């Protein structure tokens, strides 16, 4: 029904099928930088309909010189191509466009949403209405024939039925015929090929019977068959759109444009794509911020629920960061754009939602492989059935109808839907709880997790520390440290910078060293180090104390200038999250770069027996590797720049939205709310999603185990086959939608621990 969802193209997409792909320079302009010399270009590929299409494109596109990898999203029909920006990307992008067209998948760049409603749904409804009208009329004529009409009347009614059925099949059947023809003419097949063959053969047999004055014609079966197939596809489309409502509504938070203030103070309305970094944007009360920016003028209240999950208004003023999509409630503001719309925080979340629907999880790879080999198996089974019945009975008409039933009933739509619909629903469910997931495979990996590693500052704590010994530090040292700290996004640096708002940025050559601190060079003033004691005082006394709070040391040319102490509150929901994860079978530990007294105190408060203090980024990665060798599947939860390597190295990872950009990019999940309960909530949803996927596989296998033998034995007509096939797909989708109802985050299903996991306790470092 919809594992190969044809007939779902918009008018713009249908036009793209008939025209050449986008030019290389257009693709380059629309691409975004991934770092490391790589860029990504997203293309809409309307002809992608099933797992076989995905497998083909993901195999062929990386063969192009300059293309690193490609990923295809079935739900959005979007192909993401990652290529090397090495000066020859123009040839690579042109080759991508040409290769897609040569394979029968012409592409175009994403454009603005169609404001005229849902054209896919309209087309399906029109096709369904025509098929339903024809089916009712043909059925009335068939009833008259069944009632005992004489030969002349029977032939006349059969002929009228043929005249009614022909245009109905041509109009309504184009949903299937278009996809099947596009596949066949490019030397491949998909699930619409057997469906199209079934409908055409049913009509052809009936036409032969009519012209040869036969007693039986099956126009009613062919048209009604098409009606039920379209009904199933329409229901599936409705449920898919409902499942994808979260990402669609998220995308609508971005306005289509805003008023930009030029150098002379004039206001000009600019489309969203025309607003770039450095431009000044005017936000009136009731406007949403079109891009990420910083407030230059004005004061007011804004709704930051998109970022923080908190519904109460937040006071903003000069210097406040304003993410895209946030709502200005009161006052007039002037905001300086810091990023283009395509690179904004809102776009990042939308991209994560779309990526979650196309993750190459193990379950999905299994379903794709099964769907890819299904079409030739279906055709072979139908052929064997045809030959077998002809040899056994000699009745070629019955044999042909039985083969048609086999073609239709064996379509693996339920199998193809088993995974993607659950992933779409789960991604939407996670978003409702303020959790963004980057990849569908991340949900599968999270469901497998049996150990969790927490960072401390900014993860188990709020990440908003307060300087508590400012009165013990010389004013000039405090101002100097605040000026250096302004060059870092570390929570302790931000707190230090905030303690002296008018400290300025200083005249330094600054280098931030992840996990260590900030190195600042001033031409007449020497070299300053601000960070952990071992970094600020290399080879000297660290000057560590037994205080439980965090510390930052400032030195000049290796000489201690000042020590700054901070206090930080535990993140809301942290104790409950740790307890719920323990109930779910996950052992926990803290691996932090902070001092041992501070880490030990927090571990005691949360009831975590195992911790590691003073850990540098390499130490965190080494600890995760050690856990992996022990057979643990580790969930890493961290937020800082120094956590990025560990987040990438973990079996699965999570980071708060307040994390550094590199931390969010490295994590598999990003939670928007301040509450750490997002961690057990994501675990519970992921485990339930895995359970539903397994149920869907069982339903699909059970359906085929029962339906295929019934069709081969001749007990199912083409009409019965259509009803059975559509029903199986609808049942799978409805089962997937159960994830949207009756979910309680506090209840987390327990996963089995690995052997030796019970009672695990790592010795506290001396």
Half-sphere exposure of 569 (CA within 13 A, CB side): 8
SS (H, E, C) 731-746: HHHHHHHHHHCCCCCC
Q: What is the rounded distance in angstroms from the CA atom of residue 510 to the CA atom of residue 487?
A: 7
Write down the residue that tokens 């103070």 correspond to: 265
Q: Sheet with 293-297: list strands edge to edge.
A: 267-271, 257-261, 280-283, 333-337, 293-297, 321-322
**Taking CA 374 as the corner, what is the angle to CA 81 and CA 229, rounded to the nearest 5 degrees?**
90
Q: How far is CA 589 from CA 415, 443, 764, in A?
A: 40, 22, 11
Is 40:275 a contact under the CB 8 Å cutoff? no
CA dihedral 27→28→32→34, nearest 10 degrees, is 120
Got the DSSP string for 315-350? EE-TT-EE-TT-EE-SS-EEEEE-S-GGGSHHHHHH
Got the DSSP string for 437-492? ES-HHHHHHHHH--EEEE-IIIIIB-S--EE--GGGS-HHHHHHHHHHHTT--SHH
The helix/strand/coil state of 610 is strand
Which residues, other chains included, contact 609 with Cβ-Cβ below 8 Å and sequence gap of 6+?
603, 761
Q: What is the rounded distance in angstroms from the CA atom of residue 448 to the CA atom of residue 445?
A: 5
- Other C-beta atoms within 10 Å of 61: how many? 24
Q: How far is CA 702 from CA 307, 373, 630, in A?
A: 44, 19, 38
**Nearest by Cα to 654 from 362, 351, 452, 420:** 452
**Nearest by Cα to 195 from 378, 433, 20:** 378
Q: What is the rounded distance in angstroms from the CA atom of residue 171 to the CA atom of residue 194?
A: 18
Is 347:324 a contact under the CB 8 Å cutoff? yes
**Per-residue exposure over 412-421, b if at least 16 CB sit within 10 Å of its own CB, e if not:** bbbbbbbbbb
**Nearest by Cα to 511 from 500, 499, 527:** 527
The helix/strand/coil state of 671 is strand
Is 86:65 a contact under the CB 8 Å cutoff? no
Write down the residue that tokens 């495979």 correspond to: 441
Q: Which of 287, 455, 643, 675 is catalytic?
A: 455
Q: Which two tokens stand for residue 592?
A: 């932090």
**Residue 455 annotated as catalytic:** yes
**Nearest by Cα to 364 from 431, 435, 248, 443:** 443
- Other C-beta atoms within 10 Å of 126: how many? 13
- What's the start-to-end Cα distance of the chain, in Å? 63
Q: How far is CA 38 from CA 35, 109, 357, in A?
A: 6, 19, 23
**Nearest by Cα to 575 from 611, 594, 550, 603:** 603
Q: How many residues does the chain have?
A: 766
**Nearest by Cα to 8 from 102, 130, 118:** 118
Q: Which residues are catalytic?
A: 455
């Amino acid at each position: 029904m919809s594992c190969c969802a044809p007939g779902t193209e918009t008018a713009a997409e249908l036009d793209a099928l008939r025209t050449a792909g986008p030019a290389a320079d257009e693709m380059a302009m629309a691409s975004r930088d991934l770092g490391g010399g790589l860029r990504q270009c997203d293309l809409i590929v309307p002809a992608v309909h099933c797992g076989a299409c995905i497998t083909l494109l993901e195999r062929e596109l990386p063969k192009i010189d300059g293309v690193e990898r490609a990923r295809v999203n079935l739900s959005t029909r979007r192909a993401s191509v990652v290529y090397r920006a090495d000066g020859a990307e123009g040839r690579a992008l042109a080759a991508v466009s040409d290769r897609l067209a040569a394979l029968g998948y012409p592409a175009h760049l994403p454009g603005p949403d169609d404001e005229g409603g849902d054209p896919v749904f309209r087309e399906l409804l029109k096709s369904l209405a025509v098929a339903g009208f024809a089916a009712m009329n043909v059925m009335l004529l068939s009833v008259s024939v069944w009632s005992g009409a004489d030969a002349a009347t029977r032939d006349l009614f059969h002929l009228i039925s043929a005249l009614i059925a022909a245009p109905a099949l041509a109009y309504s059947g184009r949903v299937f015929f278009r996809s099947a023809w596009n596949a066949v003419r490019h030397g491949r097949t998909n699930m619409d090929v057997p469906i199209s063959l079934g409908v055409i053969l049913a009509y052809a047999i009936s036409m032969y019977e009519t012209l040869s004055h036969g007693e039986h014609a099956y126009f009613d079966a062919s048209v009604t068959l098409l009606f039920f197939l379209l009904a199933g596809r329409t229901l599936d489309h409705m449920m898919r759109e409902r499942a994808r409502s979260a990402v669609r509504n998220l995308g609508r938070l971005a306005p289509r444009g805003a008023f930009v203030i030029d150098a002379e103070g004039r206001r000009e309305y600019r489309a969203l794509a025309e607003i770039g970094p450095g431009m000044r944007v005017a936000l009136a009360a009731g406007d949403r911020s079109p891009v990420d920016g910083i407030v230059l003028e004005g004061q007011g209240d804004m709704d930051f629920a998109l970022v923080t999950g908190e519904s109460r208004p937040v006071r903003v003023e000069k210097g406040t960061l304003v993410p895209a999509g946030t709502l200005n409630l009161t006052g007039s503001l002037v905001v300086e754009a810091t990023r283009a719309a395509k690179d904004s925080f809102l776009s990042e979340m939308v991209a994560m939602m779309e990526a979650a629907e196309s993750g190459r999880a193990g379950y999905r790879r299994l379903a794709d492989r099964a769907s890819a080999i299904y079409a030739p198996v279906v055709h072979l089974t139908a052929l064997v059935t045809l030959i077998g019945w002809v040899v056994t009975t000699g009745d070629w008409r019955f044999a042909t109808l039985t083969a048609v039933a086999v073609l239709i009933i064996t379509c693996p739509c339920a199998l193809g839907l088993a995974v993607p619909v659950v992933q779409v629903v789960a991604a939407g469910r996670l978003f409702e709880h303020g959790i963004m997931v980057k990849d569908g495979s991340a949900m599968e990996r999270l469901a497998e997790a049996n150990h969790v590693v927490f960072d401390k500052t900014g993860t188990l704590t709020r990440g908003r520390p307060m300087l508590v010994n400012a009165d013990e530090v010389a004013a000039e040292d405090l101002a100097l440290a605040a000026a250096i700290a302004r060059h870092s996004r570390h929570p302790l640096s931000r707190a230090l910078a905030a303690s002296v708002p008018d400290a300025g940025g200083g005249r330094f050559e600054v280098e931030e060293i992840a996990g260590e601190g900030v190195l600042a060079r001033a031409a007449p003033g020497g070299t300053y180090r601000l960070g952990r004691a071992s970094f600020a005082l290399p080879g000297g006394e660290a000057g560590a104390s037994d205080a439980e709070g965090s510390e930052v040391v400032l030195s000049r040319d290796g000489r201690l200038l000042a020590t700054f102490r901070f206090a930080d509150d535990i993140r809301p929901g942290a104790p409950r999250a740790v307890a719920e994860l323990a109930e779910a079978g996950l052992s926990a530990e803290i691996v932090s770069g902070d001092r041992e007294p501070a880490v030990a105190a927090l571990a005691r408060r949360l009831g975590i027996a195992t911790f590691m203090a003073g850990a540098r980024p390499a130490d965190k990665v080494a600890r995760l590797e050690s856990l992996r060798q022990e057979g643990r599947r580790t969930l890493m939860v961290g937020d800082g720049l120094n956590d990025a390597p560990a987040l990438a190295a973990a079996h699965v990872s999570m980071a708060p939205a307040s994390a550094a950009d590199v931390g969010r990019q490295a994590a598999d999940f990003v939670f928007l709310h301040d509450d750490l309960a997002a961690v057990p909530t994501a675990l519970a949803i992921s485990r339930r999603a895995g359970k539903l996927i397994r149920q869907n596989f069982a339903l699909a296998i059970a359906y085929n185990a029962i339906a295929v033998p019934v069709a081969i034995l001749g007990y199912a007509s083409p009409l019965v086959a259509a009803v059975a096939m559509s029903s199986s797909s609808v049942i799978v989708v409805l089962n997937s939608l159960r994830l949207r109802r009756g979910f309680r985050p506090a209840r987390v299903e327990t996963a089995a621990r690995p052997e030796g996991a019970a009672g695990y306790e790592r010795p506290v470092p001396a």
